[in-house]
Structure 1
Amino acid sequence: MAITSVRPRSRADAPPAASAAGGKIYTPYSNWFYLPSAVIYGVLFLVPTFASLYFSLTRWSLFESKFIGLENFQLFFSEPQLIKGFTNTLIFAVITSGSKVVLGLLLAVLLTSRVIGRGYLRSVVFFPVLVSTIGVGLTFTVLMNPERGLINGALSVIGIDGPGWLTDPKYALLSVALVDVWKGVGLATLIYIAGIVSIPREYMEAARVDGAGAWETFRRIVLPLSRPATVTVIILSLIGGLRSFDLIWAMTRGGPGFTSDVIASVIYKQYQAGFYGLSTAGNVVLFVVVTAVVLPLSWFLNRKEVDL
């Protein structure tokens, strides 16, 4: 019986497609699977983006448009309430994002411990996230009524004269920010819970063996290893804070006066007045502001590594 030797197939014997791809065979048919996503992305994002850039340079209505260059941007930046809107937007974003990071982390630590009713408490904390933003705004508008509101009524029982939460210029923006934190802290807590649960148990056990207390374990293990969750919460909260509109409009409509106006509400007021090109230019400004804040911050936060 003759034995035929079999020579191992070398890379040179492989088909050209396999050789060029390092041994992996690709067919041209796989590229077609990108087409539906590319079409959806182009229709829902690229086309509206370039259309907004064009219409921001025009004076337009539903049936006609006239190219006027940068006039809309010059007029938009000459609006006196724009400076107030910029300031309020930054204040609102910083307060809400910072509060969500701190409260979300503390609640996540509590809800990953051996607390009684942990599952029920997680549901309670996350429930406001599921409620309509407009519904939350209208509800708290009633609760914060300075004369008939439940909050001031409860404060009067213990002898405290409650302020005009939404009617006093000193408290209006802060009151809306606190409601936004109440509604959004559940999502931040959920992200932190996922980050804490993913920490290997060996680290916790090693810290316990070394005699580390709860504070040392939190400071040296939980806090640094929760950094990806912290970055996610900061970025999402900042984007939401910079783009916030619906809650502010439902509760104060930018008032009293312009004291709680943000960029988005200024844009909407221009649109209501019929200045469509001007409001479109405001949308472009808002897009640039969000991009200019979030992208560098995201790069800065993600470039650092965790050292244990």
Structure 2
Amino acid sequence: MNRVTSDPRLSAGTAPAAAAEAVPPDTPRIRQRYWTARARRDAWIFILFALPNIALIAVFTYRPLVANFQYSLLNWTLGEATAINVGLQNYIDFFTSSSAVSVLGTTAIFTVFTVGGAMVLGLLVALALNQKVPGRTFARAAVFAPYVLSGVGVGLVWLFIFDPVYGVLSWILRGLGAASPEWINDPKLALVMVIIVYIWKNLGYCAVVYLAGLQSLPQDVMEAASLDGAGTFRRFISISFPLLSPTTFFLLITTLLSSLQAFDILKVMTPTGQGTNTLMFESYLQAFGAYNRAGASAAVSVILFILVLIITVVQMRFVERKVHYA
């Protein structure tokens, strides 16, 4: 009878090593094929559909952006065939000029009040439109309609309303025995005027987005809070508003970028920039106003681009931490 003897080298601890040593070194290993025919086909389909879009973005977005950086380093007057490379002199001239503080301050005031006013009033309107009352569909459409209107048309209509002589507002004030303010000629009132118009135009956008957020809130949570004795205001402060933080964050980014790039209403209502010189409008005035300085205009545009980039990064980095996603 043969006796089976156990080899200590084939114990549990050394069996894998012994098995690995038993494989001849020149034995080919089977590699998994990641780049299969289907993967190549999917890659070509992706390139086929994505390449036209990438080409359009590169030609019409990134190429002008790079060219604008190059133009900001030039002393170039529109219409001249030659330009002088001055380096960062256009940036130095802007920040050392007397109008730099005014332009940056006007940009900050315009952005803060238009973004804050549109979001706060939009939320209040959304709360009203969320009620089950007759005619709410028509009211929602009427509130959203100004947002899709042309900025030029909106500016012309409101310019007639604010006209101190022939405007509708002046006619109402004269009927009440009061004089109409000089909205157009007073720089401070001109800024207030365009802020009111811009809030009115963007109010419907914020209201509709907030309305969508309100209608997506979990109703079981709201009903549980109501059964616990929480009133309407308490439910809104403790439940609804925190759950609307993704909507608020989205609106904050989109309306902020839109306000920083506002131009059409400013140009129509204050053609020469009477107290409404934001960075965007100042860039236009430098190039196509009385100066025809394309290099200085490009420098202001680059400053605006950097400002928008910083604000976006800060929002995505810090503000999003306070967003409560379901």
* TM-score (norm: length of structure 2): 0.82
Q: Deviations over 1:257-303 (max 9, x none)?
A: xx222122221121122211111111111111222223212322211
Q: Output the CA distance in 1 between the equivalents of 2:278 and 2:267.
A: 10
Structure 1 residues 58 and 120, CA, compared in 2 at 3 Å: closer, same or farther? Answer: same
Decide which of 172, 177, 182 is 2:190's aligned counterpart.
Answer: 172
CA contact (8 A) 2:246 2:323 kept: no
- Find the counterpart in structure 1 of residue 51 from structure 2: 35
Q: For this pair of structures, how many residues does the alignment match?
A: 291
Q: Which residue identity is paired with 2:39?
A: Y
Is the aligned partner of 1:49 residue 2:41?
no
* More moved, 98-107 vs 235-244: 235-244
Q: Which residue identity is paired with 2:145?
A: F
Q: Deviations over 1:45-71 (max 9, x none)?
A: 211111111111123456443322112
Identity score, percent: 32
- Residue 160 of structure 1: CA displacement? 3.2
Q: Which residue identity is paired with 2:55?
A: V
Q: How does 1:1-308 map to 2 (within 5 A)?
A: 15-17=32-34, 26-27=39-40, 28-32=43-47, 33-60=49-76, 61=78, 63-256=81-274, 259-272=275-288, 273-306=291-324
Q: Output the CA distance in 1 between the equivalents of 2:206 and 2:164.
A: 31
Q: Output the CA distance in 2 between the equivalents of 1:299 and 1:174.
A: 32
SS in 2 for 1:147: coil
Q: Output the CA distance in 1 between the equivalents of 2:66 and 2:273.
A: 33
Q: Output the CA distance in 2 between the equivalents of 1:55 and 1:30.
A: 38
What's the RMSD between the two structures over aligned residues? Answer: 2.4
- Residue 223 of structure 1: CA displacement? 0.7
Q: Deviations over 1:48-102 (max 9, x none)?
A: 1111111111234564433221122222223322221110000000000000111
- Residue 140 of structure 1: CA displacement? 1.0
Q: Output the CA distance in 2 between the equivalents of 1:170 and 1:68.
A: 35
Q: Output the CA distance in 2 between the equivalents of 1:59 and 1:301.
A: 39
SS in 2 for 1:16: coil
CA contact (8 A) 1:248 1:260 kept: yes
Structure 1 residues 18 and 69, CA, compared in 2 at 3 Å: closer, same or farther? Answer: closer
Q: Which residue identity is paired with 1:88?
A: T
CA contact (8 A) 1:100 1:184 kept: yes
Q: Which residue identity is paired with 1:100?
A: A
- Residue 116 of structure 1: CA displacement? 2.4
Q: Which residue identity is paired with 1:242?
A: L
Q: Which residue identity is paired with 1:295?
A: V
- Residue 15 of structure 1: CA displacement? 4.7
Q: Pick the structure with greater CA Rg.
A: 2
Q: Which residue identity is paired with 1:133?
A: G
SS in 1 for 2:187: coil
CA contact (8 A) 1:152 1:162 kept: yes
CA contact (8 A) 1:59 1:66 kept: yes
- Residue 255 of structure 1: CA displacement? 4.3
Q: Structure 1, unaligned stretches of length 5 or more?
A: 1-11, 20-24
* More moved, 128-137 vs 75-84: 75-84
- Residue 29 of structure 1: CA displacement? 2.4
Moved over 6 A (4+): none
Q: Structure 2, unaligned stretches of length 5 or more?
A: 1-28
Q: Deviations over 1:23-46 (max 9, x none)?
A: xx6334244243223212211221
Q: Which residue identity is paired with 1:266?
A: E
* TM-score (norm: length of structure 1): 0.87
CA contact (8 A) 2:144 2:204 kept: yes
CA contact (8 A) 1:254 1:265 kept: no
Q: Output the CA distance in 1 between the equivalents of 2:57 and 2:325.
A: 38
Q: Which residue identity is paired with 1:147?
A: V
SS in 2 for 1:160: coil
